[in-house]
Amino acid sequence: MCAISLNDPACIGVDFVPLLPGGDNGGAKLLSLELVRNLGRIASKWQFVLLASEKGHDELAVLESQNVRRLCVLQNGTSKSSPPRSTRMRGWLYGALRTIMSRAMGKRLDDALTRAARHVNRGTVLGEIGADLLFCPFTLPFCYDPSVPVVSIIHDLQYHYYPQFFSDEDRRCRERNFRETSRLANKLICVSEYVRKTVLENSNFDPDRAITILHQLPHRLKKQPLQDVDSILQRLGIMGNEFLLYPANFWAHKNHRMLLTAFAIYRARHPESNLRLVCTGALENEKKALQEAVCRMGQKDWIILSGFLTEEEFAAIFASCLALVFPSLYEGFGLPVLEAMALEKPVICSNVTSLPEVAGDAAFYVDPRKPREIANTIERIASDKALRKRLIGQGRHRLAESGGPEKMAREYLDVFLDVTRKPVCNRAGQPALNKNF
């Protein structure tokens, strides 16, 4: 493997195998799509091959350009080339072999093993496309080839801190994926300093191989025509500036039940208020359970669970809300906080995990476990115009200090370039074993 530059032809495999239609991937999908769009534009001499399953292949059509193309590598559960699992198994055997032999032979083994790995893996997907690097925006390398360096994004380690939100099988699977990614990746990109801290706390991972690149996508949402906005609001039965918005999939850690309780408290105190609560997001089964809870509380006219919205619909209602309310128990980053600042909306958010790092002084913080505290804050935001104006101003200042999608993409490209300058074998045989699991 040779070092590459932005002026050299290069091929980057982007592992989109876990991508799903709709909103089931949450914020990780939003980041990945915007990031690839900007990577392809900036690194115009590079080719980006988006490696997808049949389920996610169509979703990636919007990214295709002169130097970005799709390749379906998993169809009906069967890989078109080497199956991801068997490819990774070769990687494990390769790592174990190097660990044993390098103790006796030292660094002289690196070049020989890299050449051998290339020969053995010539039939892999990455070998077929001539990849110089594999980028894994959904963490685990599904298309792993030991002769190709790997950069993975770590979005969060929520399962460590809220294991009750996961089945035993899911928790074990996530732990295996984290440990495997930590062993195979040359670099881990953490989406916040909070996530980097948790990665280092829960592993023996080399701190120099874990770096932080914050989300920088505040202006992702496009302004919609006024007539479209009015139509969408009318369909949902809401008026502009008369509702709070919580944009989050209906996962347990998003803490919807506590927010519903808090809003019911607010409504009991202010029956004359026209303020409503709108919750967007995917996952129909969870939505149905929450809808039943809303009905039991007698709030079906005031709490609207819209479900998953298109990008245009979501942009329209976000631009029309009175404020963002974001009482999540756990966030690796919290992209809606930035989006609210960009749309000049005041922010109510939790005082835990990454959110204070993201929002700084531009949010009204609450303890997400205390519904009365959330209700009190809703009361303040709804009644205090000066407070809303101050938070909007602080959000504007906070955004001015951060970058944008192009700056973020360049930071990722710097990592890619750095990784290709170093021998692939440097990462082999260095498992990141969990200290607590």
The Cα 411–Cα 105 span in angstroms is: 36
Predicted confidence at residue 109, as pLDDT, reads: 36
pLDDT, tens digit only, all 437 positions of the chain: 567 889 899 999 999 999 998 888 888 999 999 999 999 999 999 999 999 999 999 999 999 999 999 999 987 655 544 434 444 444 444 444 333 333 333 333 334 333 333 333 445 899 999 999 999 999 999 999 999 999 999 999 999 999 999 999 999 999 999 999 999 999 999 999 999 999 999 999 999 999 999 999 888 888 899 899 999 999 999 999 999 999 999 999 999 999 999 999 999 999 999 999 999 988 888 999 999 999 999 999 999 999 889 999 999 999 999 999 999 999 999 999 999 999 999 999 999 999 999 999 999 999 999 999 999 999 999 999 999 999 999 999 999 888 899 999 999 999 999 999 876 543 444 433 333 33
Predicted confidence at residue 273, as pLDDT, reads: 97
Amino acid in position 319: A
Phi, psi of 6 (to 5 degrees): -65, -20
Predicted confidence at residue 423, as pLDDT, reads: 66
pTM above 0.75, yes or no: yes
The Cα 326–Cα 362 span in angstroms is: 13
DSSP 29-46: HHHHHHHHHHHHHHSTTE
Predicted confidence at residue 26, as pLDDT, reads: 87
The total number of residues written for the chain in this structure: 437
Considering only the top CATH level, what class is 226-401?
alpha beta
Q: Which helix (H) or strand (E) is 120 found in, with range?
A: helix 109-120
* Residue 432 contacts residue 188 (beta carbons within 8 Å): no
Domains 10-217+408-427 and 226-401 in one fold: yes
DSSP 142-186: TT--TTS-EEEEE---HHHH-GGGS-HHHHHHHHHHHHHHHHH-S
Predicted confidence at residue 59, as pLDDT, reads: 92
CB atoms within 10 A of CB 36: 23
Q: Which of 196, 214, 217, 193 has the alpha carbon at shortest distance from 336?
A: 217
Considering only the top CATH level, what class is 10-217+408-427?
alpha beta
The Cα 38–Cα 95 span in angstroms is: 33
Contacts of 388 (CB under 8 A, 6+ apart): 322, 323, 346, 381
Q: Which helix (H) or strand (E) is 153 found in, with range?
A: strand 150-154
Domain range summary for the chain, segments of one domain joined by + = 10-217+408-427, 226-401
Predicted confidence at residue 76, as pLDDT, reads: 65
DSSP state of 333: S
Q: Angle at Cα 353 formed by Cα 137 and Cα 383, nearest 5°?
A: 115
* Residue 58 contacts residue 21 (beta carbons within 8 Å): yes
The Cα 375–Cα 250 span in angstroms is: 20
Strands, sheet with 210-212, edge to edge from the N-terminal-most edge strand = 78-79, 68-75, 46-53, 10-16, 133-136, 150-154, 187-190, 210-212
Measured CA distances, 294 to 268, 274, 279 (Å): 14, 17, 12
Residue 103: exposure state from Cβ atoms within 10 A (0-12, 13-18, ≥19): exposed
What's the N-to-C CA distance of the chain in angstroms?
Answer: 36
What does the block give as tokens for 15?
Answer: 């592992």
The Cα 399–Cα 343 span in angstroms is: 11
